[in-house]
Structures are given as structure tokens and as C-alpha cells.
Amino acid sequence: MQFPSLSNLNVWRVSATMTVWTFLLLTILLLKSDVAYCNYLVGLGSYDITGPAADVNMMGYANTEQIASGVHFRLRSRAFIVAEPKGNRLVFVNLDACMGAQLVTIKVLERLKARYGDVYTENNVAISGIHTHAGPGGYLQYVVYIVTSLGFVRQSFDALVDGIEKSIVQAHENLRPGSIFVNKGELLDAGVNRSPSAYLNNPAAERSKYKYNVDKEMSLLKFVDDEWGPSGSFNWFATHGTSMSRTNSLISGDNKGAAARFMEDWFERKSSVRKDSVGFEDDGLPRRISNIIPSLHDNHHELLELAASFQSPPGRPAAKTSSVARRVRGALRQVNKPRFVSAFCQSNCGDVSPNVLGAFCTDTGLPCDFNHSTCGGKNELCYGRGPGYPDEFESTRIIGERQFKKAVELFNGASEQIKGKVDFRHAYLDFSKLEVNVSSNGASKVVKTCPAAMGFGFAAGTTDGPGAFDFKQGDDQGNPFWKLVRNLLKTPDKEQIACQQPKPILLDTGEMKLPYDWAPTILPIQILRIGQFFILSVPGEFTTMAGRRLRDAVKTVLSGDKSLGSNIHVVIAGLTNTYSQYVTTYEEYEVQRYEVSCNFCGKRHEPCLDCSSKRK
């Protein structure tokens, strides 16, 4: 194939995403035809996935020194199943984990097949991560994601697979007739853009359509059992799981995991405590876990010594008839009522930070450089501050509380009922050699994608977790020393270098195969439909504007179907089924901030996907 000159790269630059989203939009046409409304079968489940809590590297910050040494709070897999009584069904799983993983998904599907045959397959099962950076690592199968954990960690992997399977089994066994309602609203104070200079490179006319440089909308599904009443909720909102810093050593679900605990506890206790007008206790949080890390009393150590002096009296095992559930609720039938499940899912969080106070230099206390997030030219000194600064546990609680309160508001006000068919589409695509047809100035041409590569800006990290060795975001040149180090691993050829422009290649991951693949090449793309609610399962982190472009493109296709009505809901479920890093716009790619240094972009005004850049 002939390749255009470097001078024409900006004209012809495209991404595999064009083909991906063409596939998505075409399959939507198949999803659009509606059927008469029928009642759904709805089931929810939840199970522990905490895994090893000590002596394992954490996944997210790529910090070799971040080794787990305890538990902040435990991690869970939360699942919902929606089924037509005599038709299709789908499963969505939300993990208190950094991301979904292809090997985890494969193993879960193998177990589901052994249990249920072909009822649950890769087509109708989605497994998504909340993107906490405080969970055990080592469960992905690609080298670049397990380098800092020094390889594969069987305990992390087994805990995820076991917990996901059990949460789905629980949801399956809880399937009962029910209804689903949807609501959405703005949450203004739980996320800021951590790469604002890149966002500003998007066209001004496009930016003018939006009030904010991050998405502020939360979308929530409310599940209602026909007999028991409300049984759970899942919501999608974009903010990173980085309230807990890169020096934290406690296993944690970060702000979204905290929000889920708050809401589940709120629902469990809301009818047995005195509440204010919006259903909160006096301090706005469930009493049992009003603070994930509680404020210490003045005599804290004295109380600990007193507690340690108590001797446990002999007792007897609790039987069903003497259980707390039986004694408190009174009615025996209530003992078997499924527990309320609430999940706070991730969306297009690529450039969204929960450290809402902004980024400041640790040496001077002044704001970091706007374009590169450096302090005196060094990225290591620039850190984002959460609302509880300098207490990261408090920041985690506050951002979790803000999401929790908005979710409760949406939950209580949800009145639009979901009606229509359950459907799904799924495909595997090889992103290293896709053919994409593009046009410019009336001319069209077929170009190809190329293998993945990571840029110098990747090593600089972000304001949520700076890198080391004086790398810098926005670097479009690289430096000779690190290129020499890179060449010891794999020297990219001229074709790959031209393909990745303007990104200077630090690691040619897509072409590194020893001891096995360093980065994914074949990725799953998936759409789930429940009536007028569509979930776009994507294997990466979309930036704010890339996510907006994707949702708008999908809504444009769906709006042609009058049977769907005017209230079409489209959410992006990020980090689902596997992981391929960031998804940005063409304009953001040109700036080479962190989010684009490990992915590629599409032609102007289109989204772009993952680390597999474009070969033309």
C-alpha cells in the first residue's frame, strides 16, 4: 500500500474508530425495530471481589512502589440482568476494579456456559470497571499492564472471576417480574478537566454547544420488583477513580465504591431512622458508614484499649428464626427478600479528575503550568487536590457522597418507565489492520490502521498521579536518551513513526511480542439495549469530547426511529470487557497530553480509539 507524505498526514489521519463506529451505527439499525411493551424479568446480585490485600502491586498508577498493605473498604462485583419473559436477556456487571480485562471476561463466560449453556455469552454480557486506582493488580494478560506487578497475579485474577460469576448467578436466581425507570440530572462538583489545554484545542463552535469542559450528567436506572418494590439502581457518571493517591496502600473502591456503599446502606436503613425532607439523616449519610475513615475521638486510643479488654462470652450460631432480619422485619417472608444493589458505573472519564480544587505545585503552592502540568519544568511536583485536601480519605468520602446524593435524588424522582425490547450486538475487531474509507475535498481514499504505540507524554503521568524522570505532557519530540533506551526493547520502523505522528514513540507496544503481546490488538465492541436505553460498551477511556461525539452520532441514527419517541437515552460504559487505554479527538491528539500519548485519533470532528494508531 502507498503511504501519503508527512505533509498530508493531517489531511488523511484517520483511526480504526471510524470503522468501529460505522459497525456500531449499522448494528443500531438492527436494534431499532421495537416490539410491543412487555414486563421485564429483573434480577440483581452482588459479591465480594477484594482479592489479596497485602504484598501485591495496585492497578492504575503504574507505580512499582504502591504495594497493598491493608483494606480501606472491601470491593464488590454488582450485576443486573434484564430479560424478556420469552425472549432476549442481557447482563451488565460493574466492578470495584480498575477496568475490565479480556482474560477475566473469557473465563467468566466459560463458567457461565458450564452452568447455563448458551444463555449468557460474549454477545449479551458486559463487564465494566469503575476505574479505582486502589485495587489489586496483575489480572490482565498484556505485558504493559502487568509490568509493575511483576507479572500475572493468580490471587487477583481468581478473586475477580469468582466474584463476577457469583454476582451473576445471584442475579440470575433473583430474576423476578419487575419494572425499570430512568432519570438523569446534573452533578456539578464531582469532576474537573485535568487536561484543559487539550480540550481547548477542540473547535470553538463545538465547545460553545456545552456549558462545561467535562460532562456533568448522571444517568440512572431504577429497578423495581413487582412484589418487593425498589430493588436496586445503576448509574453512569464520568469522574476518575483517583481520589486515593498514588502513595495510598489500602485496597479501596475509591469514590465510586464509597458512593455505592453509601446508597446501599441508605436504602437498607432509610425506613428505620428519622430522615430529613430528602431522605438523609441529619449528617446527610447513612449512620453505619457516614465516614469511610471516621473522625477519631479525643480518647481514641483509650477506647481501643478498653475494647481490647472485653472478653467474648460463649454464644450460639444464629438460626434463621433468630436472625436479625427475622426479628427486625417481623414477617418471615421478608427474610428472603433480595438485598438492594446499587452500582456507580464509569463513563467517558478519560480527562475527568475528582481532584476538583485544581492542580498545584507541592514546592510553591502555586498552580501548575497550564499547558504541561509542570512546576519549574518538572511534572513530579504537580498534584491535583481533592475537596478534602490534604486528607485523601476525606476527599474520597466527599466525592462519593456527592455522587450518592445525586443518585438518591434521581432515584426518588425517577418516573419515566423503560419500555421496549431487550437486544444486543457484539463484534471483535482487529485494530492493527483495519481498512478505513475517508474523504477530503471531494476525494476519497482507503487507508489502514497500524499497531499500537505509547508516547513520551504517557510517562509524564497526570495531575492525579505524576510520572518520573522529567517526562512532560505535551511532548511531541521526545529525547535522544530515552529513544536509545526504547530501541533496546524495540526500534519502531519509519512506517510506524510516520503513522504515529505527531506522537513520538516511547514504547512500540503493538509490535512487541516477547515474552508475549504487550498490548491488545483485537478488541470487543458491544451495544446493549433495554427499551429506549442504550449502553455503549467500549474497551477504553473516552475523553469528554470524544464521548460527546460518539453519543451524538448514535442518537442521530436512533432519532430516525419514531417508535423510540423523543426520550432516547445513550450512555457510555467505559473500561468494559477489556482495556485499550484512551480515546480522544483528532484535535486533542495534536496537543499530545497524557490521554493521547497512548492512543490514536480520527479525522477532524470524529472520535478516535485506543492505542492502535493509524497506518496510511
Query: Parallel, antiparallel, or unpaired: how do β-strands 443-452 and 54-59 relate?
Result: unpaired
- Number of structural domains the chain divides into: 1
Report the pLDDT value the prediction gives residue 306, as an integer from 0 to 100.
Answer: 52
> Considering the chain, what is the average pLDDT of its residues?
85
Classify residue 319: in a domain, yes or no.
no
In a domain, 82, yes or no: yes
- pLDDT value at 8 more than 60: no
Per residue in 575-608, pLDDT (tens digit) is 999 999 998 998 999 999 999 876 543 333 344 4
pLDDT for 499? 87
Burial tier of 201 (Cβ tally within 10 Å: 0-12, 13-18, 19+): middle
DSSP string of 426-441, one letter each residue: EEEEETTS-EEEEEET
CA 78 distance to own-chain centroid: 14
444 vs 142: CA distance, rounded Å: 36
Annotated binding-site residues read 131, 240, 541, 582
Is 47 within a domain?
yes
pLDDT value at residue 292: 52
What pLDDT, on a 0 to 100 scale, did the predictor assign at position 313? 45
Q: To which residue does cell 425472549 refer?
A: 87
Which of 522, 504, 507 lies closest to 589 in space, CA to CA?
A: 504
**Residue 172 domain flag:** yes
The confidence score (pLDDT) of residue 59 equals 97
- Encode pLDDT of 206-256 as tens digits: 999 999 999 999 999 999 999 999 999 999 999 999 999 999 999 999 999
Report the candidate in 241, 242, 247 with the shortest Cα–Cα distance to residue 63. Answer: 247
Please give the residue range of the domain that contains residue 169: 41-273+348-431+518-615
pLDDT at 13: 39
| pLDDT, tens digit (0-9, with 9 covering 90-100), for 51-97 | 999 999 999 999 999 999 999 999 999 999 999 999 999 999 999 99
Known catalytic residues?
353
120 Cα distance to chain centroid: 22
Provide the whole-model pTM.
0.85
pLDDT for residue 271: 52
Beta-strand relationship, 341-346 and 229-237? parallel
pLDDT exceeds cutoff 50 at 319: no
Taking only the tens place, the pLDDT of each residue in 126-145 is 999 999 999 999 999 999 99
Whether 443 maps to a domain, the answer reads no
Whether cis (ω within 30° of 0) applies to the bond prior to 52 is no
Q: Is residue 146 part of a domain?
A: yes
Residue ranges of the binding site for Zn(2+): 131, 240, 541, 582
Q: How far apart are CA 182 and CA 28, in angstroms?
A: 20
User: Is the residue at 21 inside a domain?
Assistant: no
Any domain includes 5: no
